[in-house]
Amino acid sequence: MQHLELPATDAEDDDVVKTICADPEWSDFRDDWLAAYASYRTSAGNPWSVVPGEFNDDVRLRMYNLYTSKRKSAALSAMRDMQLSSCPMCGSLTTGALDHHLPREEYEEFSILRVNLVPACTHCNSSAKGKTFKGDEPERFIHPYYDAWAGEPLWQVLIEPPYEAATFGAAPLPDLGEERTRLVKFHLENVLSKQFIRSMTTLWSTYPRSLMVGLKAYDGATVTGAITTDRDRAIVGLGCNSWNSAFFRGILANPDAMEHVRKKIEVLFEDKTEA
Ligand SMILES: [Zn+2]
């Protein structure tokens, strides 16, 4: 969940199709293919409105395989290797793969359309997400290139008691409006992995000790101030919808979780004094 600049202009993406279709084996499909690209752009990659091209299975297979043959090209490698602070799809702290926003299993004609290729972590690009690309209308994934609002804070981590062995979930922020709330909910339900839960479990269990470093007191205001600073640092360093930013937002929105952290720090202070 990040807003990214478009990786290619309309003309640059169209030129790839025009070059391929200079080959007589492809030339018959040129106009329909370009029309599908145009539809993708006017629909902003929304599966509820994009009009797929009409191609037979043989052509579709060839289009699907184009990505396999071009995945190591300079243009696609540069997208895969973009320096990003967190995964634009799920907010994890790794990237290094390219995800088809509309899956190439369903939309072979967009297999090498750059505005359909999103830098992502390996989980987001793995089979875990599978062929899912929409739910019940209007549910779909957030599009990092076309949904400018992906650059705003969208979600927070839910920390559920008992806090000594907390469980974790994810929820849209409360003030997003009805449609965005549904999109964010669908997105979260389909991109967050078991690794997210493992990561939150570790962060939560180690957080009081790491927060304590540099703290001079453990009263409510001091602890709230320190968590707020951690949240703001995560937003600047990792992106406002990274796992860590959503984690700190989740603590700050949960008075009981805050109090748990404060009490843990209090005990750590006492241990330190006794030592
Ligand atoms: Zn990811």
Give pLDDT, residue 130: 66
Query: What are the mean pLDDT values of the chain's consecutive 10-residue runs (275 residues total)?
Result: 96 97 97 98 98 96 96 93 93 93 95 96 77 91 97 98 97 96 96 94 96 90 96 97 98 97 93 79
CA of 218 to the centre of ligand 1 (A): 35
**Which residues are CB-neighbours of 161 under 8 A, at least 6 positions away?**
256
Are 1 and 196 spatial neighbours (Cβ–Cβ below 8 Å)?
no
Burial class (CB in 10 A: 0-12, 13-18, 19+), 271: exposed
CA of 248 to the centre of ligand 1 (A): 19
Are 149 and 200 spatial neighbours (Cβ–Cβ below 8 Å)?
no
CA of 272 to the centre of ligand 1 (A): 39
CA of 125 to the centre of ligand 1 (A): 7
CA of 138 to the centre of ligand 1 (A): 22
**How far, in Å, CA of 81 to CA of 68, rounded?**
17
Burial class (CB in 10 A: 0-12, 13-18, 19+), 56: exposed
CA of 269 to the centre of ligand 1 (A): 37
Strand partners, 119: 98
Nearest to 194 by CA among 228, 230, 168, 222: 168
Give pLDDT, residue 129: 66
CA of 207 to the centre of ligand 1 (A): 23
CA of 180 to the centre of ligand 1 (A): 20
Are 96 and 54 spatial neighbours (Cβ–Cβ below 8 Å)?
no
Bridge-based pairing state of the strands 117-120 and 155-160? unpaired
CA of 98 to the centre of ligand 1 (A): 10
Global pTM? 0.94
Cα dihedral sign for 172, 177, 180, 186?
positive
Helix (H) or strand (E) holding 55: none
CA of 216 to the centre of ligand 1 (A): 37
**How far, in Å, CA of 116 to CA of 169, rounded?**
29
CA of 241 to the centre of ligand 1 (A): 11
CA of 119 to the centre of ligand 1 (A): 9
CA of 92 to the centre of ligand 1 (A): 5
CA of 170 to the centre of ligand 1 (A): 15
CA of 83 to the centre of ligand 1 (A): 14
- DSSP characters over 84-109: -SS-TTT--S---EEEESS-TTT-GG
Are 102 and 47 spatial neighbours (Cβ–Cβ below 8 Å)?
yes
Give pLDDT, residue 128: 60
Residue 166 DSSP class: -
Give pLDDT, residue 272: 81
Which letter, b or e, does each residue of 92-122 get, where b requires 16 or more Cβ atoms within 10 Å of its Cβ?
A: beebebbbbbbbbeebbbbbbbbbbbbbbbe
Give pLDDT, residue 30: 97
CA of 3 to the centre of ligand 1 (A): 14
Give pLDDT, residue 273: 79
Give pLDDT, residue 193: 86
CA of 184 to the centre of ligand 1 (A): 15
CA of 165 to the centre of ligand 1 (A): 26
Identify the residue whose tokens are 């003309």.
11
